[in-house]
Chain A
Amino acid sequence: MIESLFPNVDWGKMWDATVETLYMTAMSTFFTFVIGLVLGIILFLTAPRQLWANKIVNWLTGAFVNIFRSIPFIILIILLIPFTKFLIGTIRGPNAALPALIIGAAPFYARMVLIALKEIDKGVIEAARSMGATTWTIIRKVLLPESKPALISGITVTAIALVGYTAMAGIIGAGGLGTLAFLDGFQRSREDVTLMATILILIIVFAIQFIGDLITIRSDKR
């Protein structure tokens, strides 16, 4: 039945491509989460009247985030080719896609982190200060736990965007379902391969959304 609907699909290759896409998404989501979190916290704490109020750091971080958030991803990949070559040693394969994926998505997530942190009641931060908490304690025990649902729903949206980015990266040879759909599907006019790759990408996206929503709801005690 499936064989007759998708006559040209090589299931072995399809499976390998799916694993590559999952690998790229997972790795880039992880690093995006870490780097975005750090950038978002710096943006929040260096803003005027905050604990580390510092105009210069705030401006520099803000500029970095805004610039890399604004460059279209497909152009960013090309711009980063020399950097990727230096870092990874090649510009082909799943690992070569990671620098561009992370640099493209981390600033995007940093903005979401900033929005999440701004939503925290200022009184709670003041209460922690009145108890003699250090800024590090406030970050770990107030800022992160109190914004957890927003941080998780933010990384869910970002991870889904990253699935899309991996497909785009596939066109320049990163591998994964994007490469498969483009080279084996589109360029050889095998629509069934493109369709199957699309279905798999959709399943990945829905799975991420489902898991993300579940954790968000579980973590929200408000």
Chain B
Amino acid sequence: MIELKQVTKTYDTGKGALKAVDGVDLSISSGEIFGIIGYSGAGKSTLIRLLNGLEKPTSGTVQINDQVITAIKGVELRKARQKVSMIFQHFNLLWSRTVKENIAFPLEIAGVPKNKRDARVMELVELVGLTGRENAYPSQLSGGQKQRVGIARALANDPEVLLCDEATSALDPETTDAILDLLVDINKRLGLTIVLITHEMHVIRKICHRVAVMEGGRVVELGDVLSVFQAPKEAITKRFVAQVTETEDSNETIKHLRELYPTGDLVKLVFVGDQTEQPILTKLIRTNPVEVNIVQGNISHTQRGAYGTLILQLKGTREEIANAIAFLNNENIQTEVMAND
């Protein structure tokens, strides 16, 4: 539904040209939650603004459904924007308007008559869970509530696409999760396509189906969230994945674990998807005479399944341990011996 073809955006910065977005090809399907992750300056803010024509590309085309966003302007572009709405890191609410009036703003722009506006606003207030706060001014709301107003405002004209510009970066972890849950809910209930940019892998892990990693204006890695978590290819992706998995397999940690568990083999197991729901350990113990001790574990849930690591201490003879590892590999679990006797 969203097609980007060879999109490049160059800024003239006095000191020469700066390529903010460099030859990006992307294809996002309908109903998908698509994440774009990158550090600041990676070009993701520019990229997301190309999708609603707030920025014009230097070359390349952006197409949403059958409308080429890069080719339209004036009335046509303004009409298109009502179907591709946006929420922002700093909410960007009008402080001079109440919650109700802020949500009514896009309806006023779309020329919806007053009586229909009021009904729609109340519907949206309820949808985002702000019932009772509709007459408050933004200054009287918490960050999470402000973002809920932002979301309600973005949904007012029944958009097909919701663009999220670092929508949770200014919120605390708990509020972030609540807002992310709301986005997933909206995605499921309204079948809305969501494109979000962020620098937090947590956001990608929690709600995205697919992810694109951006660096220096280019998309350096792209794929299903689960497979990117399982096998990140680029160094930058590995760093982002480490943000949330944090199985610290640095030499320091291994040495520390070795001190705590001085005997046997320390083995790291990597689970992906379905395996996390299987009673692997039970099977392992029943079929192998090794002694099993759980040292450390960590499971992350993504929209496409779970991903986790588990560090075990295995005690037994060389052969018994080798058999146990062979058994795990047979069950499609990646293993890595971190330390042995």
Contact = CB atoms under 8 A, between A and B. Distances in A.
A48 interface: no
B114 interface: no
Most chain B beta carbons < 10 A, residue from A127, A141, A146: A127
A146 B137 CA distance: 13
Given A126-B92, A141-B105, A132 B139 contact: no
8 contacts: A123-B92, A124-B92, A129-B81, A131-B109, A131-B153, A146-B94, A146-B95, A221-B95
B254 interface: no
Interface in B228-283: none
A142 B61 CA distance: 31
A124 B139 contact: no
Contact of B82 (A131, A142, A145, A148): A131
B85 A130 contact: yes
A129 B88 CA distance: 13
Contacts of A121: 90, 92
A69 to B, nearest CB: 29
A134 B78 contact: yes
Contacts of A115: none
A130 B163 CA distance: 10
A219 B95 CA distance: 11
A55 interface: no
Given A132-B78, A133-B78, A222 B139 contact: yes
A207 B109 CA distance: 39
Contact of A132 (B82, B93, B163): B82
Interface residues of A, number: 21
A137 interface: yes
Interface of A: 121, 123-124, 126-134, 137, 141-142, 145-146, 148, 219, 221-222
Nearest to B82: A132
Interface string B82-110: 10011010101111110000000110111
A134 B81 CA distance: 11
B95 to A, nearest CB: 5
B147 interface: no
B54 interface: yes
B5 interface: no
B79 interface: yes
Nearest to B137: A221
Classify the interface of chain A: helix, strand, loop or mixed: helix
A148 B96 contact: yes
B52 interface: yes
Contacts of A131: 81-82, 85, 105-106, 109, 153, 157
A142 B157 CA distance: 19
Contacts of B79: 132
Instruction: Report the 3 A-B pairs with minimum CB-CB distance, sorted nearest first.
Output: A132-B78, A132-B81, A127-B92
Contacts of A129: 54, 81
Contacts of B95: 146, 221-222
Nearest to A137: B109
A203 to B, nearest CB: 32
Interface in B42-81: 52, 54, 77-81
Nearest to B108: A141
Contacts of A134: 78
Contact of A221 (B80, B96, B153): B96
A216 to B, nearest CB: 13
Nearest to A134: B78
Contact of B94 (A130, A145, A219): A145
A124 B102 CA distance: 11
Given A130-B81, A132-B109, 5 more contacts: A132-B81, A132-B82, A137-B108, A146-B95, A148-B96
Most chain A beta carbons < 10 A, residue from B88, B96, B157: B96
Contacts of A124: 92-94
Contacts of B139: 221-222
A127 B86 CA distance: 7
A128 B106 CA distance: 8
Contacts of B96: 145-146, 148, 219, 221
Contacts of B153: 131
A18 B108 CA distance: 45
A13 to B, nearest CB: 46
Contacts of B108: 137, 141
Contacts of A219: 96
Nearest to A125: B92
Contacts of A132: 77-82, 106, 109-110
B93 A133 contact: no
Contacts of B80: 132
Most chain B beta carbons < 10 A, residue from A124, A128, A142, A219: A124
Contacts of B85: 130-131
B154 to A, nearest CB: 8
Nearest to B106: A131
Nearest to A149: B96
A146 to B, nearest CB: 6
A133 B109 contact: yes
A133 B52 CA distance: 13
Most chain B beta carbons < 10 A, residue from A121, A130, A142, A146: A130
